[in-house]
A and B are shown apart, each in its own frame.
Chain A
């Protein structure tokens, strides 16, 4: 099977009439059939309703009513986000039988844009903790090596777009949950400024940290999704063509890039390969004319402690009643971490929020002299899936959580491959609401570095995995 197109390539071809959305959809469904037995990206495949919708899309496009760049594009949705008539189970027995009547706000926008919803994507239970092994389904696996961790918690989203089962995916990010799986699966993952994408209809993890996010094969694809899901950034600079395609090509000369090196060299050292890949990426930024220099922020452990205290306290507030009344319905890997939040009192929580303000002020000051920050997002290549420790979040600081604490937009971009042949990534961060600079810088790096020429090797054939459900309105057997 040929390499799948990127989202924007597909959109241009659909617009030009050289690619049929029905053919594109069948291509994605065939990839699911071939790959998802091993990878578990989807908990529900909605191929019946997608096949029904694509007929309308084909008619509209033939009649000259192209709705924009998501028209006819297959998209997957993380299973904490409501799609009307499709179960939202958040990988938990707590939500068994939960079928929402309404779309989440983000799904409504996708549907209005003419996107084809191909299914609900695997997550960790309630988007927290480590891979969920118990019912309702197994964890997603890394498409570069199915014995490896796919990251979390938007794991199915990253796997689906890496393999071309979907051309874009919607996830959520509370402590790196879009950027980490994107990094480990070798795709692009954008966590915008909080509330840039509406969270209505999304099961919360920790409301003052939660952000929606998008994952796709390229940064340009992420920009396309972001553009479709939010009003244009208020920068005064037009960044979409009249047809709605992102205008990301730009001259980065003079861009001031700060490297938060102590996060990944001193505070929580990453692998040698990871560190080398980031240094190589910084050379690419220098070659593009950026001014690159190291910056010092408060230690990573401080950001992590503040973020984790807030996360645990807010998550416990969401789940307290169920923990009291039916705690046995949680999986072991998430119940005890949620319970830990009961040991955080109001004074601890308020102290963390106060400390959060101080950390954010330091970062804001740093952004007075820099346009972009660069740091790590993962310690290295993906580890074996069974080696992810349940209490790892208390042991090793997260490189993602600082920018949930500060609410800056952040982007994970592939920056090479390690000695085990698995993807490595860097994290780019911009000023609050300045997603445009972030996306332009990520796009320029991606184009120059050339890592998008390699995709995970897929299987030629196979069948859907046993736990995957198809609740489509008129499901046909997959060819």
Chain B
């Protein structure tokens, strides 16, 4: 049986807590469920930002 990688859980937890704090500065209260859900898609938002910044080709993961 494979144990879940605790680092992944901690990262997800950490991201959710940071989002709760970040939204609180704008006066928006996030529930833990909302924060966890948003944390799960933030990477995809950052990818869109990278495409806007660098173009679709420039945002591709670099090949070794």
Mark A residues whose CB is within 8 Å of B.
298-299, 301-302, 304-306, 308-309, 312, 320, 323-324, 327, 335-336, 339-340, 342-344, 348, 351-352, 355, 391, 394-395
Contacts and interface: CB of A to CB of B under 8 A. Distances in A.
A299 B58 CA distance: 12
B52 A309 contact: yes
A342 B26 CA distance: 9
Given A324-B26, A324-B27, A301 B51 contact: yes
Nearest to B43: A394
Given A299-B56, A301-B51, A352-B52, A340 B41 contact: yes
B34 A394 contact: no
Q: Give the secondary structure class of A's interface.
A: helix
A394 B42 CA distance: 10
Contacts of B27: 324
Interface string B16-29: 00000011001111
Q: Give the secondary structure class of B's interface.
A: helix
A107 B39 CA distance: 42
Interface in B6-64: 22-23, 26-30, 34, 37-38, 41-42, 44-45, 47-49, 51-53, 55-57
B23 A342 contact: yes
Nearest to A305: B51
10 contacts: A301-B51, A304-B48, A320-B28, A324-B27, A327-B28, A342-B22, A343-B42, A344-B45, A344-B49, A391-B44
Given A324-B27, A324-B28, A339-B30, A305 B48 contact: yes
A324 B29 CA distance: 7
B37 to A, nearest CB: 5
B28 A323 contact: yes
A395 B34 contact: no
Interface of B: 22-23, 26-30, 34, 37-38, 41-42, 44-45, 47-49, 51-53, 55-57
A395 B49 contact: no
Contacts of B53: 351
A351 B49 CA distance: 9
A391 B39 CA distance: 12
Contacts of B34: 335-336, 339
Contacts of B28: 320, 323-324, 327, 339, 342
Contacts of A301: 51, 56
A237 B43 CA distance: 50
A306 B59 CA distance: 13
A306 B56 CA distance: 11
Interface centre among A298, A304, A309, A335 (most CB of B within 10 A): A309
Nearest to A353: B52
Contacts of A391: 41, 44
B38 A340 contact: yes
Interface centre among A335, A351, A394 (most CB of B within 10 A): A394
A298 B42 CA distance: 25
Contacts of A355: 52
Contacts of B55: 298, 302
Contacts of A320: 26, 28
Given A305-B48, A309-B48, A343-B22, 18 more contacts: A298-B55, A301-B51, A305-B56, A306-B51, A306-B52, A308-B48, A309-B52, A323-B28, A324-B28, A339-B23, A339-B34, A339-B38, A342-B28, A351-B52, A351-B53, A355-B52, A391-B41, A391-B44
Contacts of B48: 304-305, 308-309, 394
Contacts of A327: 28-29
Nearest to A355: B52
Contacts of B47: 305
Contacts of B45: 312, 340, 343-344, 394
A395 B41 CA distance: 10
